[in-house]
Amino acid sequence: MNREALIAVTPLWIEAWALGPALPGVRIVRSGMGPEKAQSAARALASEPAPGALAVAGVCGALDPRLVPGDVVVASELRGNGAPILLDSAKPLARALEARGIRVHVGPIVSIAKLAEGRDRAALGATGAIAADMESAWLAPLSARSAFAVLRVVSDGPRHPLYSPSIVVNGIRALRALRAAAPSLVTWSQSPEETH
């Protein structure tokens, strides 16, 4: 069996829909939302031959109030499932995005078990994490087998609440930005300098 060059893991069907046209020939795996589904997806992927690279891609909630819907975030570190995991992929992926004219924010992403708003979001932001998701840290054990990166796009944040009518417009903006950013994952996965 041939080793796949890249697998993209995304939690939700709508994220997979956004990624599909931008990643022809790349297998997109839907993990489902939340830690339990992410862990289940990680176990399933660990039972397969390791791809050359694996990327988690989807939307996230901003913790840094300077981030707005549609902003692209690349994880330099994952927190939330044991000890923090540093990702060497951050700089090469950020360069691939910037080469496409996409402004990118690089920093820690914290994975949480349930959606956070208000004080919970502020407390997470006070740790220095710039965004939150609900899956990446539980998929990170796969980084031991393949080059591993996390690309997320902001859909909501401190100034753009999740539970607001504006989430429809902000969500569309995030999905469009995700689609525009996705080809950079292929560039990153093919880069001779990208590392585990």
Number of other CB atoms surrounding residue 130 within 10 Å? 26
d(CA 136, CA 150): 7
Sequence-distant (≥ 6) Cβ neighbours of residue 94 within 8 angstroms: 74, 104, 106
d(CA 101, CA 14): 24
Distance separating the N- and C-terminal Cα atoms of the chain:
22
Residue carrying the six token digits 């939307």: 59
> Does 185 score more than 90 pLDDT?
yes
Closest C-alpha to 192, from 95, 115, 92, 85: 92
Contact (Cβ atoms closer than 8 angstroms) between residue 57 and residue 9: yes
Q: Is the CATH number of domain 6-190 3.40.1360.10?
A: no
Lowest-confidence region among 56-70, 92-106, 112-126, 135-149: 112-126
Question: What residue ranges do the domains of the chain occupy?
Answer: 6-190
Tell me the three state secondary structure of residue 177: helix
Contact (Cβ atoms closer than 8 angstroms) between residue 134 and residue 109: no
Q: Residue 179: its pLDDT value, please?
A: 97
Strands 147-156 and 131-133, bridge-based pairing: unpaired
Q: Residue 177: its pLDDT value, please?
A: 97
Q: Residue 82: its pLDDT value, please?
A: 84
Average confidence (pLDDT) over 60-77? 96
Closest C-alpha to 152, from 172, 127, 177, 117: 177
Q: Residue 196: its pLDDT value, please?
A: 40
Q: What is the pTM of this model?
A: 0.92
> Does 160 score more than 90 pLDDT?
no
Contact (Cβ atoms closer than 8 angstroms) between residue 91 and residue 59: no
